[in-house]
Amino acid sequence: MNDKETDKEADTMEGFDRGEDIAVMEPLQVSDGSPHQGALTELAVDLAAKSAGFRRSLPDSVVNALADLVRAMNCYYSNLIEGHDTHPVDIERAMQNDYSDNPRKRDLQLEARAHVTVQKWIDEDGLAGRAATLEGICEIHKRFGELLPDELLRVQDPQTGERIRVEPGTLRRRDVIVGDHLAVSPGAVPRFLGRFEQVFSRLGKAQTIASAAAAHHRLLWIHPFLDGNGRVARLMSYAMLRDALDTGGIWSIARGLARQEAQYKRQLIACDQPRRGDLDGRGSRSEAALAEFTRFFLQTCIRARAPTSL
């Protein structure tokens, strides 16, 4: 369940709260008055139209078969982002309960099976309307983590060497640093997720499409779990877009993100940055960076839904 970048323990006191104001996470959406809004709206409309056209062009029998293929593909590329190169053949074998005798390879097969299982649950409306809620986010993490082998539920404190178990579905009780980003204190996580849910779980379909990228970044910025946040964010984004676009589960953004991994991660880091002067929105974080990530995210979605990308 590795997020690839090691989470460094920044404090040994569990559950403490530095009292961060939720305003430090703003803006949660690109504002209507942003000079970037027009172009982003056009991309969102284009994505909705092309996604609907693609879905309608296929008979139900093809949609069902394609959804099975996309789940395996999404798993493969999401694993790549995590630094786990699980061959598609091994993913297929895992789905048939055919596991390697090599312990490491078997663990990765079990991880792949967990991902496919959770995405299938999403495709069967298990998360309908709840993707951006605290309950839904924790359920994604819980369902995924409960299917993992114990070895993949352990993270190591780089300072002490302590092996810490990740509890599936449980918000972190420790402070963490990811790269240069000090995540909000553990006691503040529920407060920030409450604000996150307030904004992102009540959007109409058009707003959800336009705001999916912002939700993706802000969840990673909060970093609600000790490990597995990247996987949860991608599955949450998949579920949000599935609800808003009626994708039928026949395309996913994971491939596009994996193939542009360096740019994807650069843009996420840029969204962590503070506002760049008076012309960069009114929140604590850079609205221009959030708009640029939204553009990248929507363009990646548009390319992902083309039949030739599967």
Residue ranges of E strands in the chain: 7-9, 154-156, 163-165, 176-178, 181-182
For residue 82, being part of any structural domain is answered with yes
Query: Taking 80 as the threshold, does the pLDDT of residue 1 lie above it?
Result: no
Q: Read off the tokens for 108.
A: 């990765």
Q: Tokens 């991902």 identify what position?
A: 115
Burial class (CB in 10 A: 0-12, 13-18, 19+), 31: middle
Tell me the pTM: 0.91
Total structural domains within the chain: 1
For residue 64, being part of any structural domain is answered with yes
User: Phi and psi (nearest 5°) for 178?
Assistant: -115, 110
By residue range, what is the domain housing residue 166? 7-309
User: Phi and psi (nearest 5°) for 111?
Assistant: -65, -45
Q: What is the pLDDT of residues 12-32, one digit of tens each?
A: 467 899 999 999 999 999 999
Q: Tokens 């000790």 identify what position?
A: 226
Q: What is the pLDDT of residues 142-170, one digit of tens each?
A: 999 999 999 999 998 767 788 999 999 99
For residue 250, being part of any structural domain is answered with yes
Q: What is the pLDDT of residues 36-92, one digit of tens each?
A: 999 999 999 999 998 888 878 888 888 888 888 889 999 999 999 999 999 999 999
Q: Decide which of 205 and 1 is more confident.
A: 205
For residue 1, being part of any structural domain is answered with no
pLDDT of residue 203: 96
Q: Read off the tokens for 305.
A: 């839904």
Q: Tokens 């640029």 identify what position?
A: 292
CATH number at residue 172: 1.10.3290.10
Which residue type is seen at 157? D
> Within 13 Å of residue 291, how many CA atoms lie on the same side as its CB?
18
For residue 2, being part of any structural domain is answered with no
